[in-house]
Amino acid sequence: MSLPQKIGFIGTGAITDAMVRGLLTKPAAVPHVMVSLRSADISAGLAADFPQVLVSGDNQAIVDGCDTVVLAIRPQIAEDVVRALRFRDGQRVISVVAATARDALLDWIGADVRLSQAIPLPFVARRKGVTAVFPPDANTAALFNVLGNAVECESKAEYDLLAAASALMATYFGVMHRASEWLAANGLPEEKGRAYLASLFASLSDTALHAGNHVAFLEMSHEFATKGGLNEQVFRDFEADGGGQALTKALDRVLARIKG
């Protein structure tokens, strides 16, 4: 189990930016990083902030110069970009390309590489991210453990389910937004509602994180819902008005999309 000595990124979008910043936050986890020129603003920003970053306009030079290559390109253009590159047998490749089958990636790569797939989230920039990895791989897990916490999936089915779960992020903030709007509509200054809700949700997430895997979320829900109290009322109304069913239906639909 070891971290790469030189890691390269094909594609320089938000996830590449987050991963590089997480890896190079002091103390830096890797000594050298290469990033592709696209997008120019992000790559230039990384090079300005970190002397370890080398920007290259030649994707093949990144593949040739790195022991680990991260594919961080949009799925719409992934095949064209990857097929044009020549990889080495045994080279480590980590794909963060969304909703793209492993078999397709290997076909495009055309070499006997050690391929991992991962779902890093923006929080890796602060080394706080949880990242699903498939298949289990000690070196890939070590990399993402630096950036927070890696969850190694034993099967593609597990990986797809966590990919679906990661689609809850916008909904999480959407719930906070709706609550904030309601508070403001009822006379609370917006900045006070935002500050209160952000701290409230952060505390709840921290409680869940420290409760351990042996405590069910529903059990925690009951702990925070005094019988006949306000929390019990809101959760009961949420379920009665179809909130739980709507959430389950949305997850079913996104899982179907991930599976293609």
Taking only the tens place, the pLDDT of each residue in 35-77 is 999 889 999 999 999 999 999 999 999 999 999 999 999 999 9
Read off the pLDDT band of 260 (50, 70, 90).
Answer: confident
**Model confidence at 1: pLDDT above 80:** no
Residue 165: left if φ>0, alpha if ψ -120 to 50, beta else—which one? alpha
93 burial level (CB within 10 Å; 0-12, 13-18, 19+): buried
- Please tell me the predicted confidence (pLDDT) of residue 87: 98
- Please tell me the predicted confidence (pLDDT) of residue 212: 83
**Model confidence at 99: pLDDT above 90:** no
Region 143-156: mean pLDDT is 97
**Model confidence at 184: pLDDT above 90:** yes
147 burial level (CB within 10 Å; 0-12, 13-18, 19+): buried
CATH 3.40.50.720 location in the chain: 6-153
- Please tell me the predicted confidence (pLDDT) of residue 41: 96
The 10 Å Cβ neighbour count of residue 85 is 19
Read off the pLDDT band of 199 (50, 70, 90).
Answer: very high
CA distance 171 to 24: 30
Tokens 């076909």, residue located: 107
**Model confidence at 213: pLDDT above 90:** no
| Fold adopted by 167-259 | ProC C-terminal domain-like fold (1.10.3730)
Region 113-127: mean pLDDT is 97
CATH class entry, domain 6-153: alpha beta
Read off the pLDDT band of 131 (50, 70, 90).
Answer: very high
Q: What is the mean pLDDT of the chain?
A: 96
CATH 1.10.3730.10 location in the chain: 167-259
- Please tell me the predicted confidence (pLDDT) of residue 38: 83
Region 69-89: mean pLDDT is 97
